[in-house]
Chain A
Amino acid sequence: MNELTRNAPPDPISLASHKDASAKIARRRRLRDRISGIALGAGFPILLVILWDLAVRYTGTRLIPSPREVAVMMYDFSFGGIYDDAFSGTILTHVQKSMERVYGGFLLAAALGIPIGLMIGRIKLLRQMLDPTISLLRPIPVTAWLPLSMIFFGLGPNAAIFLVFLGAFFPIMLNTVFGVRSVDPRLFEAASMLGCSGSAMFRQIVLPASLPAIFNGLRLGHGFAWILIVVGEMTGVPTGLGSVIMDGRNLSRTDLAIVGMIVIGVLGFATDWLIVMLNNRLLAWSPQHHE
């Protein structure tokens, strides 16, 4: 570039069109990025299925069904018309029952875990009173509560909800406590000098400041909720994805068990995605917690 053009003011028209073009390039790059991301993310499970298929063929095992057999089972489970047995076309009933229990237990855990966590994090007296008990209860595996929960709630869905609740409650509550405890004390000072105090402080400072940690807890708790539904539905309920998997095991119908696993995986994936979307919406202010 020579001296003259370098010093000349840029021509506004060419500048505008240049800006337009660079925006277009950036948009195209983002799109390409996104497509390659999706392709990679979807490609890997496809690769796993191919490996699974090859492994079944190569070993000639009868114990594990091939992907094709599982796909057929999935079709029958969803729409019926192939095996016409007790499981044909029943997917919606099982999904609905399991979702009721998972989300029932999960929402109960959130409804109790978040406020209790906020209070324990903020009120020293409460912390001193409850901390030892929580530390004592927390290492007990949720599955160990199975016998007691069956006594408390009998054979039925309530025992499953209770287990899901227990599994989701601790991560949600403990992450909330952690979030409250790690709020920058300057923010409390800033709020109090601006005339904020008492319960307003809770709503306006403590809650939003600990929201990133609360969302971490919700995501963890949600994961545990789906893990525990299988255990919960082993307690003698006739419907639900956990009971389908148990039936598959008892009837030596591994294809049925795998179908149950896949449905749980997909549902868990979808709900986690919803939580992440909500997370991104509510935490738009925090670049670290935006995914």
Chain B
Amino acid sequence: MNNAAMKATRPTLAINHVAKYFDLKGSSVEALRDINLTINKGEFVCLIGASGCGKSTLLRIIAGFEKASSGTVEMYGTPITGPGPERGMVFQDFALFPWLTVRQNIAFGPRQRGLAKDKIDEISGRYTEMVGLAKFADYYPSQLSGGMKQRVAIARVLANDADILLMDEPFGALDALTREKMQQELLEIWQRTKATVVFVTHSVEEAVVLAGRVVVMTASPGRVEDDSRIDLARPRDFSAMDFNQVRRDITERITSHLTTGKTVAKAA
């Protein structure tokens, strides 16, 4: 089977029986237990759960920054062994290179691939434009607002032709108004580029605004509690009845686990 055919038939991401243990002061802590997920091309998946449920750890394993203690993560059927340009991470704290301008940050990936200079300029120009920062192309990150920084981070990953966007609470550090605006922009970019997005958040509302599929995780150890589609039409309306219904459903699924935990504790 050639490469293109393999891409077409294999799932974009296949997570099989992934477990993760951390060493904490000599004792082993189970962060993830038997995670199984299959994510297909073009999906927008939100991983949601209370803090400590391992959602960020799972994302970091997909990114290749951490190794699973057991199990495998495969992209188009090939096991992931480390970070790579086909999986672009967008961090909550942006992680821009402060010594590079907006344009140079976006050009970082293409430069690593050793493209010709005019090709690099063309790509970085296009993506600077795409995230609406053409006027700020020669600014340094320290001169930008939080929302602008996150736009640079997204453009930097897109400019590198990432198939999968891995987003770790990317809008968590932004104010509410900027966050809403960024959510809309991200949706536009997703629809335009047809990228696959795995988005970690602890905000139910954010998940319902963005996701086509919500994966609810529960803590200690981190497990997948629920995996469901959201079929609300886009663009989604915060104030609509069905939006609120979905939000309530998901909130219940997250908190039901917490309350069952309590009853178990009482019984014991």
Per the bound structure, the CA–CA distance linking A194 and B99 in Å amounts to: 16
State which of B69-77, B105-113, B201-209, B257-265 sits at the interface with chain A.
Answer: B105-113
Determine whether the beta carbon of A286 is less than 8 Å from that of B85.
no
Per the bound structure, the CA–CA distance linking A189 and B174 in Å amounts to: 22
Nearest to A192 among chain B residues (CB) is B83
Q: Does A25 contact B (CB under 8 A)?
A: no
Interface residues of B in 66-104 (CB under 8 A from A): 82-85, 87-89, 91, 93, 95-101
Which of B93, B109, B141 has a CB less than 8 Å from the CB of A195? B109
Nearest to A209 among chain B residues (CB) is B99
Per the bound structure, the CA–CA distance linking A287 and B141 in Å amounts to: 11
List residues of chain A with CB under 8 Å of any chain B CB. 184, 186-187, 189-196, 200, 204-205, 208-209, 211, 283-287
- Counting chain B CB atoms within 10 Å of each CB, which of A186, A189, A190 scores highest? A190
Q: Does B55 contact A (CB under 8 A)?
A: no
Determine whether the beta carbon of A286 is less than 8 Å from that of B142.
yes
Determine whether the beta carbon of A195 is less than 8 Å from that of B84.
yes
What is the total of A-B residue contacts with beta carbons within 8 Å? 69
Determine whether the beta carbon of A194 is less than 8 Å from that of B109.
yes
Question: Which B residues are CB-close (under 8 A) to A192?
Answer: 82-83
Query: A192-B82, A193-B84, A193-B88 known; A284 and B109 CB under 8 Å?
Result: no
Nearest to A207 among chain B residues (CB) is B99
- Counting chain A CB atoms within 10 Å of each CB, which of B64, B96, B142 scores highest? B142
Determine whether the beta carbon of A190 is less than 8 Å from that of B140.
no
Question: Which A residues are CB-close (under 8 A) to B160?
Answer: 194-195
Determine whether the beta carbon of B112 is less than 8 Å from that of A193.
no
Interface residues as binary, B133-161 with A (CB distance below 8 Å gives 1, 0 otherwise): 00000001110000000000000110010
Per the bound structure, the CA–CA distance linking A258 and B156 in Å amounts to: 58
Question: Which A residues are CB-close (under 8 A) to B87?
Answer: 193
Question: Which A residues are CB-close (under 8 A) to B89?
Answer: 189-190, 193
Question: Which A residues are CB-close (under 8 A) to B93?
Answer: 186
Question: Which A residues are CB-close (under 8 A) to B99?
Answer: 208-209, 211, 283, 285-286
Q: How far is the CB of A202 from chain B (nearest CB, A)?
A: 14
